[in-house]
Amino acid sequence: MKTNQTFPVYRKLNNNRRFYKILDSKSFEEIQVIGTKKIHQLFEAKQYPDLLFIQDLLSMIHTGILPSSETEWVLQIEK
């Protein structure tokens, strides 16, 4: 993981059902799209697997994780 990472960083899953705004190396916001509903929550990593998940999002190590943007994030919030 980059130590000089600039935050926030935006990511999404390739199915466009989950959007992430990574605030720092230990926290992120998530928007889950479930049908016509959206769930927006703040997540604070407290356990090692959660920290690894954030690292995976940042590195985009899995093919299902894609880059996103602030514009795309705001569109999800406003819909």
Q: Give residue-wise pLDDT tens across range 3-23.
A: 688 999 999 999 999 999 999
Q: Is pLDDT above 90 for 1? A: no
pLDDT for 79 equals: 77
Is residue 44, in this structure, part of any structural domain at all? yes
Closest CA to 43 of 22, 18, 70: 22
How far apart are alpha carbons 38 and 51 in whole angstroms?
Answer: 24
Number of domains in the chain: 1
Is residue 34, in this structure, part of any structural domain at all? yes
**16: alpha, beta or left? (left if phi > 0; alpha if psi -120 to 50):** left
pTM, whole model, 2 decimals? 0.92
Q: Is pLDDT above 80 for 74? A: yes
Q: Which domain holds residue 37?
A: 9-78
